[in-house]
Amino acid sequence: MEPADRPERKWYWKENLDTLMQINPGLVNRLRSDPGGGIGYAIAPAQTGRYLCRTQQGIPTEPLFEHCPVAWGIRSDQEGEWIHPPSGQRDWLPAFSDRDLAHHDLFVIVRMGLGNEVFDCYERLLCAELLREANRRIIAVESRVDLLRAALTLYDWRVLLESTRFLLIYGTDIRDILAAFWKRYAFSALDDPLVIAGSGPEKETGELTALVDRAVHQACQRHRALAAECLAQETNRRAARSRGYARKVLWLVPGHNYLQRCCVNALREMGIGADVHLWVSSTYRFVKRFEWVRLLEKYNPDLLILVNATPSTFFGGPEISQIPVRVASWFVDNPWRFVRSSSDFVGVDFAACFDGYYVPYLEGLGVNALEIRTAAGLFRPGSREKSSEGPAVSFVGELGTRGFWDLDTLVCRISRELGQAARYISEEYAKHPDGPVEEIYRQYAVAERFPFHGAIVELVENRAAYLLRKRILESCSDIGLVTFGDREWGDPERAGVSAKCWSGKRVDYFEETPEVYAGSQININIFHPQCKSAPNPRVYDVLACGGFLLTTENPGLRDEFTDGEHLVTFRTTEELRELIRYYRDRPDERRRIAESGRERILALCRYHDRMRVFVGLSDRKSVGDRYVDSC
């Protein structure tokens, strides 16, 4: 089939490069350079939804893509070796078993080509782990730039590129680039790596895979020995030091950066040293198992705080339990997504959760737990008149499709029954968001094989949140609504009729969001299903900035606020429309409620208030006091 005759297809070059630019801009610049050279490969679609590929020799043709000199179609008279052959001719490719999945943590795919083996490996990891996020990782290595460009054009890599389990490496000499990788990230090696042959030709790829396999295992042995030595040195150093109370706090986990920044600032203003460490290199998402040993020596903390993680789930090893440093885990999202057994809490002294609803679950896993809610991270100095140029009604936040859209497709491939149940449950919750979504899930037989943990929680809750937001915001899209967020807000396929309400931009949390909250006549908040009995950060932020808030109902609001005095709640879309019309015409009443809400936040709901509980609990544990604290 010639290029002009092929059916219209979705190409992903721009989307993939936009995502990769946030992770590895150097690689993006190389991929965007002039490809040069002639056409060396021909590709064609397969019935499985993947693409076939073989080398092309001596057949003049036009390139399929401007940025990538590959040809479309594989002719019967064409000579050349298969890169990605038809399924019936793949017997020569080394396969790995389910036992390999259970006994290896690191999978290195040599010469990934178009990426068929990478996607197979990624899906098998998810399936084998029952959709639970874990510490198994994939490194995909490629030295053929034309095939790499084709891979990023033909497939949507965004889920893998943004995940914590995947790393893409490109270079002209695979052995050299892997050696440079191990040298730069000395503690990146996980236990028992498995090196997998990717795309052919068979002899060349097989020989290179064998060389890489030896090099990788030798590097892992050296790095484990070096890490053990560093671990022993740090243990001895800290054991010789006597410091009872927390005077230095270190935050480690990338993600929720705005929250960590607020907490660090609050601790510093309280006179306590605090730092947050973010891996800002292209591999920061690809977490290192022993890297934290160096960080303890660098920052010298008394208390280590991990957000939505524990040492076992984040670092993948129990070594931190040997270090005399107190460790706390703070879950600012549903902990069912991150922990599911007592072994996950090895090395954790105490845990906190933004919503007290989950405290019994955490205590059932054998860890001391308490509720520490999120708080206001934004403030505007003083109060001033609202700008008449601000939106009549605004919503700032995520539409939420990125949290489930691609995962939904993958889950349906793994289990059609599970995918159908997840879709039905999220749709039912969005229509009637009164009961816990997990109770609806447990009514289905599929719950016995796929417990409500890990990515299943992410899928069901995020999809339900998206449908709820979409339904509520569509109901007021004709009365002055303006949305602020990523480009998905402007996509009619995802945002529906409210796509016309998109402002066209995402506002910076610290610099621009306060002005939007303060300048809008009415701010809308819609609770995520994970908020069972506690508010989300948007409630605190809107009020702290002097904004007027209309929010869906949540039992936790009554603990800190009075409806009609500090904020206003709604239960149906009809009630929301009535309240918008009512308060839009009553600026004095809006201003009175907003000022009262702001005063309430300043008095009770700052991160200073939350961090006092955190550090106070740590200090009591350090001197052996009984665990009695509550928020």
Instruction: Tell me how far apart the alpha carbons of residues 225 and 219 are, in angstroms, rounded to a whole number.
Output: 10
Question: Does residue 600 register a pLDDT over 60?
Answer: yes
248 or 396: which leads in pLDDT: 396
Asked if residue 210 has pLDDT above 90, the reply is no
Instruction: Specify the 3-state DSSP secondary structure of 545.
Output: coil
Most confident range (mean pLDDT) of 162-176, 442-456, 507-521 is 507-521
Predicted confidence at residue 220, as pLDDT, reads 77
Structurally, what CATH architecture does the domain formed by 393-605 represent?
3-Layer(aba) Sandwich (3.40)
Position 64 scores a pLDDT of 87
Residue 620 has a pLDDT of 61
Residue 406 confidence class, pLDDT cut points 50, 70, 90: confident
- pLDDT score, position 508: 92
Q: Do residues 485 and 512 touch, judged by C-beta distance below 8 A?
A: no
Residue listed under structure tokens 């943990």: 453
pLDDT for res 218: 81
Cα gap 396→519, rounded to integer Å: 13
Q: What is d(CA 357, CA 521) in angstroms, rounded to the nearest whole number?
A: 33
> How confident is the model at residue 79, as a pLDDT?
74
pLDDT tens track for 543-558: 999 999 999 999 999 9
Over 80: is that where the pLDDT of 475 sits? yes
Tell me whether the CATH fold assigned to 243-375 matches the one assigned to 393-605. Answer: yes
Q: What percent of the chain lies above the pLDDT cut of 90?
A: 42
Contacts by 573-579, CB closer than 8 A, 24 or more apart: 573/471, 573/472, 573/475, 573/476, 574/475, 576/472, 576/475, 576/476, 576/524, 576/550, 577/475, 577/476, 577/479, 579/550
Among 115-124, 236-245, 335-344, 522-531, which stretch is predicted with the lowest mean pLDDT? Answer: 236-245
271: DSSP letter: T
Q: Which residue has the tokens 């390139």?
A: 63
Q: How much is the average pLDDT of 194-199?
A: 87
Fold that domain 243-375 belongs to in CATH: Rossmann fold (3.40.50)
Return d(Cα 204, Cα 197) in angstroms, integer. Answer: 10
Is residue 460 within 8 A of residue 422, CB to CB? The reply is yes
Give the domain ranges of the chain. 3-36+93-222, 243-375, 393-605
Report the C-alpha gap between 369 and 349 in whole angstroms: 9
